[in-house]
């Protein structure tokens, strides 16, 4: 558990420039992991619409543009510095990228608007109830038959319980009002993720990658 907790926005603003290298060092089979994020997206030349939640510097976008060169992508992140890095990396695609500086917990998604919604290494800071509310927003924002793709840290059930207990103790000690406010890791097991998806109403769960506490999976509306 994090010894020194940091505000979420400040944490990522301070690490925007070094973020890509950090992820390369911390995800085994980094290249394969990000390839699998786009696995559930069908190749097309159509102008589909994608929402990328907590997009950071856009590490997942390169593979997506290879499969869907004409896609329009709403890139949503609370870190302005992260989005500045993304903007520079993908300046050739600037007319296809809409940058939004906001928290995906607060931002209102347009209902029935997206072919795909993706999130990569971001929702493991949320507890069950908060994830449920977010996934419900995602479900409502997808077009009929739309797909949500998530790549994130995943742990076994015993570690999930341990991390949650540690978080709740820290929350009480530090007087944390809401999960997702600070950079604290509380990842779930795949079993728990499936339970939330089922509650929301998603179906057709597909697992594309599961290695060294990182996984990629998709579900359909």
Q: Is residue 172 a part of any domain in this protein? A: yes
Mean pLDDT (the chain) is 95
pLDDT at 210 over 90: yes
Mean pLDDT, range 120-146, rounded to an integer: 97
Residue 3 or 164, more confident = 164
- Residue 77 lies in domain: 8-220
Helices (H), the chain: 8-14, 19-26, 30-37, 61-67, 80-89, 128-141, 157-174, 190-200
User: How many domains are contained in the chain?
Assistant: 1
Q: Is residue 163 a part of any domain in this protein? A: yes
| 142-153 vs 214-220, strand pairing mode | antiparallel
**Residue 2 has what pLDDT?**
44
Tens digit of pLDDT for each residue in 28-80?
A: 899 999 999 999 999 999 999 999 999 999 999 999 999 999 999 999 999 99
Per-residue burial over 79-112, b if 16 or more Cβ lie within 10 Å, else e, is bebbbbbbbeebeebeebbebebeebbeeebeee
pLDDT at 3 over 70: no
Residues 176 and 8: beta-carbon distance below 8 Å: no
Mean pLDDT, range 92-101, rounded to an integer: 97
- Structure confidence at residue 177 as a pLDDT band (50, 70, 90): confident
The CATH number given to whatever domain includes residue 153 is 3.40.50.150
Q: Is residue 70 a part of any domain in this protein? A: yes
């Amino acid at each position: 558990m994090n010894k020194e907790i940091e505000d979420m926005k400040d944490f990522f603003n301070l690490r925007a420039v070094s973020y890509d290298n950090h992820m390369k060092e911390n995800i085994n089979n980094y290249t394969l992991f990000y390839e699998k994020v786009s696995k559930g997206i069908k190749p097309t030349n159509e102008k589909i619409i994608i929402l990328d939640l907590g997009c950071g510097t856009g590490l997942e976008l390169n593979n997506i543009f290879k499969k869907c060169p004409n896609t329009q992508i709403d890139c949503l992140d609370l870190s302005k510095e992260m989005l500045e890095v993304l903007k520079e990396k993908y300046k050739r695609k600037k007319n296809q990228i809409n940058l939004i500086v906001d928290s995906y917990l607060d931002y209102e998604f347009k209902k029935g608007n997206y072919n795909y919604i993706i999130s990569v290494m971001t929702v493991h800071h949320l507890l069950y109830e908060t994830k449920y509310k977010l996934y419900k927003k995602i479900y409502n924002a997808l077009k009929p038959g739309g797909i949500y793709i998530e790549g994130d840290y995943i742990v076994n059930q015993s570690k999930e319980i341990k991390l949650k207990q540690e978080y709740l103790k820290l929350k009480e000690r530090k007087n944390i009002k809401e999960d997702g406010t600070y950079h604290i890791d509380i990842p779930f097991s795949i079993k728990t993720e499936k339970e939330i998806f089922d509650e929301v109403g998603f179906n057709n769960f597909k697992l594309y990658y599961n290695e060294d506490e990182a996984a990629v999976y998709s579900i359909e509306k």
